[in-house]
Amino acid sequence: MDQIIDITGLKITTEKRVKSNEFFFKGHYPGNPIMPGVLVCEAVFQSGAILVTSTYKNSDTPATESKGVPVLTRIKDVKFKNIVRPNDILQIEVELAEKIGGAYFMKGVARVDGKVAVRVEFAVTIANVD
């Protein structure tokens, strides 16, 4: 992520500028560079991790959970709608839909110029990485 635009308790908006010299463009695809969909999803997941970290650090979350890091545990209903190309700016929104125990369920969307590139539902839990 290049920039956090806005963050509240339940929602985050971020941006990522997709640089033309990113390593993955060399092989995906030569002469017609396209950002791999899995990396577009990863940008959404990273935004969600920032949101979750902000959420539990500003709450009454148990100390053991607040020392961990968010790790992806579920990916659901991914829909790829448009291609992301070099020099595009990904505008990412992630919303915390529900928290059940230690699981954070989220919905995210990444757009380029207002057009949806990907929609995805996902979940993270907090893992202690000592």
DSSP secondary structure string for all residues of 49-65:
HHHHHHHHHTTT--HHH
pLDDT in tens, the chain (130 residues): 899 999 998 999 999 999 999 999 989 888 999 999 999 999 999 999 999 998 876 666 554 455 788 999 999 999 999 999 999 999 999 999 999 988 999 999 999 999 999 999 999 999 987 6
Within a 10 A sphere around the Cβ of 119, how many other Cβ atoms? 17
The CATH number of the domain covering residues in 3-127: 3.10.129.10
* Predicted local distance difference test score (pLDDT) of residue 129: 74
* Predicted local distance difference test score (pLDDT) of residue 58: 64
Residues forming the active site:
28
* Predicted local distance difference test score (pLDDT) of residue 61: 55
